């Protein structure tokens, strides 16, 4: 399996703790949601390619919050998407699965690279390709106990579960070995893009930030 040095952005990614997985109906909605998330203390932002004009959203988000937030691209399904996101300044790239040629392109951009896996065989493939962080997706299928079991044969790998993560169970995911967690609908629900919905994002973001703070406090006790 490929041995690679830690990516320079790995520590910052882990320190973010919660990565907001953003699926917005419009670029304007995405930018408003990102503003609300960052102001509430969520500093990891994954702009998925299901969001219209995702590279432009990434570029504008970095212009607004580059000193405070780590902004990347998600739902990367093609090499062209990986390259356009990297050209826009994406600091990390996330694909829902692990496809060898795509993973190599993602890694080749120099961005922190995450690809999706669920089974041990898929984890082994991601590791062999030199992926920086393995996205356990959908995390809801196995839950924190499944992540803990995966950590036994892969103790040196970095994992980010996505799907099934909430403010209520965030600490359990971290206790099970997560480097960071991806939060989509539990943090940024589709209803948030209706009129006045940014208040809902702010409220949910603060719940996640409080849960993350509580986890850090328990770790140092």
pLDDT digits (tens, 9 = 90+) for 97-140: 999 999 999 999 999 999 999 999 999 999 999 999 999 999 99
At CA 145, angle to CA 173 and CA 102, rounded to 5? 70
Ramachandran region, residue 53 (left: φ > 0; alpha: ψ -120 to 50; beta: rest): left
Domains of the chain (ranges, CATH numbers): 10-220 (3.20.20.70)
Binned at pLDDT 50, 70 and 90, residue 221 comes out as low
Binned at pLDDT 50, 70 and 90, residue 218 comes out as confident
Q: Where are the beta strands (DSSP E) in the chain?
A: 18-22, 44-48, 70-74, 92-95, 112-117, 133-136, 159-161, 181-183
pLDDT at 2 > cutoff 60: no
CB 55, CB 66: distance < 8 Å: no
- 46, 60, 99, 186: which is the annotated catalytic residue? 46
Of 9 and 219, the structure prediction assigns the larger pLDDT to 9
Give me the residue label for tokens 């992926």.
131
Mean pLDDT computed over every residue of the chain: 95
Distance in angstroms (rounded) separating the CA atoms of residues 58 and 75: 14
- DSSP 3-state assignment of 117? strand
Residue 206 is a catalytic residue: no
Across the range 140-164, mean pLDDT stands at 96
Q: What percent of the chain has pLDDT over 70?
A: 98
pLDDT digits (tens, 9 = 90+) for 70-102: 999 999 999 999 999 999 999 999 999 999 999
199: Cβ contacts below 8 Å, ≥ 6 apart = none
How far is the CA of 151 from the CAs of 92, 156, 169, 183, 213, in angstroms?
A: 23, 8, 18, 21, 24
What are the phi and psi torsion angles at 122 (to 5°)?
-70, -40
Distance in angstroms (rounded) separating the CA atoms of residues 167 and 115: 24
- 99, 135, 157, 186: which is the annotated catalytic residue? 135
pLDDT score recorded for residue 5: 84
Across the range 139-160, mean pLDDT stands at 96
pLDDT score recorded for residue 36: 97
Across the range 184-197, mean pLDDT stands at 89
Provide the whole-model pTM: 0.95
């Amino acid at each position: 399996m490929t041995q690679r040095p830690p990516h320079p952005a790995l520590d910052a990614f882990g320190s973010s703790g919660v990565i907001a997985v953003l699926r917005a109906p419009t670029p304007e909605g995405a930018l408003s949601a990102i503003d609300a998330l960052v102001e509430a203390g969520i500093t990891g932002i994954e702009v998925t390619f299901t969001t219209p004009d995702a590279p432009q959203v990434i570029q504008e988000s970095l212009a607004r919050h580059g000193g405070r937030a780590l902004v990347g691209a998600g739902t990367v399904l093609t090499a062209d998407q990986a390259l356009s996101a990297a050209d826009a300044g994406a600091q990390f790239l996330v694909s829902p699965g692990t496809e060898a040629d795509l993973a190599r392109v993602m890694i080749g951009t120099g961005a922190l690279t995450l690809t999706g896996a669920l089974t041990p065989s898929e984890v082994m493939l991601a590791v062999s390709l030199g992926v920086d962080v393995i996205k356990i997706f959908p995390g809801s299928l196995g839950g924190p106990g499944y992540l803990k079991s995966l950590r036994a044969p892969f103790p040196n790998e970095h994992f980010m579960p996505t799907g099934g993560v909430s403010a209520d169970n965030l600490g359990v995911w971290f206790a099970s070995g997560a480097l960071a967690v991806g939060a989509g609908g539990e943090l940024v629900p589709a209803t948030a893009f209706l009129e006045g919905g940014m208040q809902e994002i702010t409220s949910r973001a603060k719940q996640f930030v409080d849960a993350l703070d509580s986890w850090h406090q328990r770790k140092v006790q």
